Structure 1
Amino acid sequence: MTSSRDREGADPRRWKALTVCLVAGFMTLLDVSIVNVALPSIRTGLDAPQSALQWVVSGYALTFGLVLVPAGRFGDMHGRRDAFVFGVVLFTVASAAAGLAQNPALLVIARLVQGVAGGVINPQVSGLIQQLFRGAERGRAFGMLGTVIGVSTAIGPLLGGMLINLGGDTDGWRLVFYVNVPIGILAVVLAYRYIRPPVGERRPRENMDPVGVLLLATGVVLVLLPLVEGQEWSAAAKWPALLAGLAVLAAFTAWERRYGRHHQPVVDLSLFRRRSYALGALLGALYFAGFTAIFFILTLYLQNGLGYSALEAGLATTPFAAGSAVTALFGGRIVTRLGRPLVVAGLVTVAVSLAVTALAVELVPGTHVAWATALPLLLAGLGSGLVISPNQTLTLSEVPIPRAGAAGGVLQTGQRIGAAVGIAAIGSVFFSEVASSHGDYATAFRHSLLVTIAFVLVALAVAVIDVITSRRAARP
């Protein structure tokens, strides 16, 4: 009688299953950035006000970050494949609804549902990698996931520009959403074929910790909402919401400690007593604060400051995507041998390359700036590929598999909050510099890039601390 597992205990379909997961993950992460270049087309096609356009972008990020942890916990309890398929179906339906939207309100609702679906899918992907792979293979799998994260973030503006050129200024934005539909249908069919639940798996009966879920959701909303709203909220409105969010998250932590004495909480706080997880999660949040904002300010500089088209601005980001794709795969293969020093090397490369990018903009501030920044952005991408996937591999390396989904959800929630903090802080510097310098976008880009570098350097300090403490712990 043939088992579904091979002689070494590994699922023979694991690489095909991983491909299905990565395709779905790429689809959801792409929608974080691809919509940015579609906003002018949406404004023209639907006569949408600025407030609606803001929610098309921020609503997705908000609901995405909101459900990551509870969705990861649900997958741990009830099966990651079924949770994954549900998320893909919901994302596909919401994408079709967004493409069909006839007014801004319907589009915003569809984007909110898309965000929920994306938040359901992504913790299942990291949980399934933990479940399906071991040792060096797990590093390779996370390397492929790192490639997906880096490429999807960087290539979104390029793909969006191509689709808008294809569909026209009025309705080209609809193709940005329709492209997800056939991909989603294919992913559902292949998921049932290649992703199998673990043989003989018995999950203990647990509840979802509803009080913890409610407190976490409230805290995340109060923290993320003023950040993703960016320029729409005044400082007087932002700070009370942020402080209230931090207070609710403190209450959530207290509740989880108490609840965890006798039950399994939605977030296992004991994970943060593991140095690899605690420092890795902090490093990921800090790096995403700088990394995600690069494309935000670069696109604004090229399109608003230099008059680049959506397609041309997208092409300018491709060197970073190409570099990240190459080294993420390589980094995933060697991270189990080199450990956190590999991440340190990647962060140093990113920081130096971004400093060279700022210098290139100062030396060539005109319309040829995309050529001047191509090489330093390529080098920054090469460094980024040695950060994202190796850090994810190391951060989750000591997490018990039954908690992999929730742990991955916490990690990704930190990344989403970090990205929102980075875009809010770096975007604020960018817009204030544009206003004070009467439209000098080159200066605004350079100064905001310095803030980006600062986030990367703080992440580097965390990585160095991890290297030092791990070496001390390894001594007799």
Structure 2
Amino acid sequence: MAPSSDNSSGRKSGAATADGGGSGAGPDPRRWKALAVCLVAGFMTLLDVSIVNVALPSIREGLRAGVAELQWVLSGYALAFGLLLIPAGRIGDARGRRAVFMTGLTFFTLASAACGAAQSSEWLVVARVAQGLAGGLIAPQISALIQQMFSGPERGRAFGMFGTVVGISTAVGPVLGGLIIHAAGPDEGWRWVFYVNLPLGAVCLLLARRLLPDTPTAGTLTVRRLDPVGVLLLGLGVLALLLPFVQAQQWHGNTKWLLVPLAAVLLAAFAAWEHRWSGRGGDPVLHLSLFRVRSFSAGSVLILLYFAGFTSIFFITTLFLQSGLHYSALEAGLSITPFALGSGAAAAVGGRLVGRFGRALVSLGLTVVALGLGGTALAVHLVPDRGAGWAMAAPLLVAGLGSGLVISPNQTLTLSQVPVASAGSAGGTLQTGQRVGSAIGIAAVGSSFFGQVRRGGWAAAYDRGLLMAVAFVVAALLIALADTLGHRREQARATGEHGQNSTLRGPR
């Protein structure tokens, strides 16, 4: 029987076999300060996914960049980031999470400096790819360190804070980018979008060395521990899967979609190799047995579907406001701020409640998100033209409140029964699902959006895009409901078996 994934999973996560305290030592008194370091680093890496969007016009003028180069400024970061998540998580598990975290943070800070100093579009694209690779090194260490440093209710609170960072960093990127460019000027403001990472990175590095714990299971990296064939097959599979989606608007024709079946073949080969490698006594880059745990497999699929709808909202909203209604970058960013505020507020609460309500809390959040997005579409209908930005504030706040009950509670539940020794690769897998979902959602919703713009105008296109985003959210809701019902059936079966055994034994 698969381990449970609902209420009990949140409480069982504090067991000695699943937390960092299995050795019997008490919790690290510096764990909350260490968490703050992780959250600042996570904020930087996730912020750079969205903050650059509003800087693209300035980059185009400053570096005389073409459309293809501008697209790669965005997609190069996303591709490199997603490509390294699972291998980086595995390296952190094997070599030490603090060491890999600090290595990634060092390269991320240097790459940010290189982005800001770019003298050509080619220079900027290369620096952005390097920045994405460094971000991919950092991200899985954060969830793994939370698994290692916290247990029980504290782990839910820590993941709640991490969920707040995920929601806010994604949503606040456009407005923060708009503020920086407004303050520094359109000519050089885009450079400060990258330079802002330098002081944060330097401070985080100093504190990480002092505060982050060592990894108890770390050792010397060997071929048997690193699994280079598995890393190569997984990397090629993720690349083949992501590339046609992130380049959907630039690569015309349907030939690009042939990469999707190629990705399926590569990922199947990866699964077969991992099984064989594990049978030989090697340490696989991803323990496929994790997917036999329903809480992990259901949560991974759920977050992929949710991020397909979640991130596409910001993509089409900024396009609608800036290109359709001629809002400035700052005005468009401010219009999305209610979502970020709602998400941040609810995520902290969700982290505290997940141990009590389990996956049902995620189901509630997904329902609220769908209702909020429906209200946003209605607001654009009722208040057309430039007043739409004000009208969508309240329903976007509602959607943000729902989102805060999805990301961090789902992460807590999904990783609750993962052993700490595999926390890095498991966290990397979960975040890879987020990146794949984001790419799929932006491609699917964007394609529908642009097709409708040509036929019915910007408002109609925004309606169509929101409808598709809601469809992804509803699909995630169905996964959450199925997981909740499955857990309740298992509980009822276990209760029935216990009662039958008690009857057979007779009264004591």
TM-score range, shorter chain: over 0.9
Q: Which residue does 2:394 correspond to in 1?
A: 375
Q: Which residue does 2:183 correspond to in 1?
A: 166
> Deviations 1:394-440 (Å, cap 9, x if unpaired)?
00000000000000001100110001000000000010111122xx1
Find the partner of 1:268 among 254, 267, 287.
Answer: 287
Q: Which residue does 1:65 correspond to in 2?
A: 82
Q: Which residue does 2:384 correspond to in 1?
A: 365
- Answering whether residue 460 of structure 2 is matched by residue 443 of structure 1, we say yes
Cα–Cα, structure 1 residues 282 and 7, in superposed 2: closer, same or farther, change >3 Å?
closer
Q: Which residue does 2:233 correspond to in 1?
A: 215
Structure 2 length as normaliser, TM-score? 0.91
> Deviations 1:309-334 (Å, cap 9, x if unpaired)?
00000000100000000010000011
Q: Which residue does 2:266 correspond to in 1?
A: 248
Q: Which residue does 2:43 correspond to in 1?
A: 26
2: CA distance, partners of 1:283 / 1:201: 30
Q: Secondary structure at the match of 1:375?
A: helix
Q: Which residue does 1:283 correspond to in 2?
A: 302
Q: Which residue does 2:166 correspond to in 1?
A: 149
Which residue type is aligned with residue 186 of structure 1? V
1:287-366 aligned within 5 A: 287-366=306-385
Find the partner of 2:121 among 104, 116, 120.
Answer: 104
Q: Report if aligned partners of 2:49, 2:170 keep a CA contact under 8 Å in 1.
A: yes
- Runs of 4+ aligned structure 1 residues displaced above 3 Å come to 5-8, 200-206
> Deviations 1:346-391 (Å, cap 9, x if unpaired)?
0000001111111111111210101110000000000000000000
Superposed displacement of residue 235, structure 1: 3.4
2: CA distance, partners of 1:231 / 1:196: 44
Which residue type is aligned with residue 398 of structure 1? Q
Rg larger for? 2
Q: Report if aligned partners of 2:79, 2:132 keep a CA contact under 8 Å in 1.
A: yes
Q: Report if aligned partners of 2:320, 2:459 keep a CA contact under 8 Å in 1.
A: yes
Superposed displacement of residue 196, structure 1: 2.2
Stretch deviating more after TM superposition (78-87 or 250-259): 250-259
Find the partner of 1:235 among 253, 269, 272.
Answer: 253
- Answering whether residue 158 of structure 2 is matched by residue 136 of structure 1, we say no
Find the partner of 1:460 among 465, 477, 480.
Answer: 477
Q: Secondary structure at the match of 1:170?
A: coil
| Structure 1 unaligned spans of 5+ | none
Q: Which residue does 2:208 correspond to in 1?
A: 191
> Deviations 1:59-116 (Å, cap 9, x if unpaired)?
0000000000000000000100010000000000000000000000000000000000
1: CA distance, partners of 2:94 / 2:211: 20
Q: Report if aligned partners of 2:93, 2:217 keep a CA contact under 8 Å in 1.
A: no
Q: Secondary structure at the match of 1:264?
A: coil
2: CA distance, partners of 1:273 / 1:446: 39
Q: Which residue does 2:106 correspond to in 1?
A: 89
Superposed displacement of residue 168, structure 1: 1.2
Which residue type is aligned with residue 414 of structure 1? G
CA RMSD of aligned residues (A): 1.3
1: CA distance, partners of 2:274 / 2:387: 54
Q: Which residue does 2:275 correspond to in 1?
A: 257
1: CA distance, partners of 2:203 / 2:24: 30
> Deviations 1:106-157 (Å, cap 9, x if unpaired)?
0000000000011000000000000000000000000000000000000000
2: CA distance, partners of 1:29 / 1:119: 10
2: CA distance, partners of 1:277 / 1:270: 10
2: CA distance, partners of 1:469 / 1:152: 34
2: CA distance, partners of 1:175 / 1:252: 41
Cα–Cα, structure 1 residues 17 and 415, in superposed 2: closer, same or farther, change >3 Å?
same
Stretch deviating more after TM superposition (235-244 or 101-110): 235-244
2: CA distance, partners of 1:17 / 1:380: 31
Q: Report if aligned partners of 2:236, 2:263 keep a CA contact under 8 Å in 1.
A: yes
Which residue type is aligned with residue 404 of structure 2? G
Superposed displacement of residue 7, structure 1: 9.1
Structure 1 length as normaliser, TM-score? 0.97
- Answering whether residue 427 of structure 2 is matched by residue 424 of structure 1, we say no
Superposed displacement of residue 260, structure 1: 1.7
Superposed displacement of residue 203, structure 1: 4.1
Aligned length: 469
Q: Secondary structure at the match of 1:232?
A: coil
Superposed displacement of residue 234, structure 1: 2.1
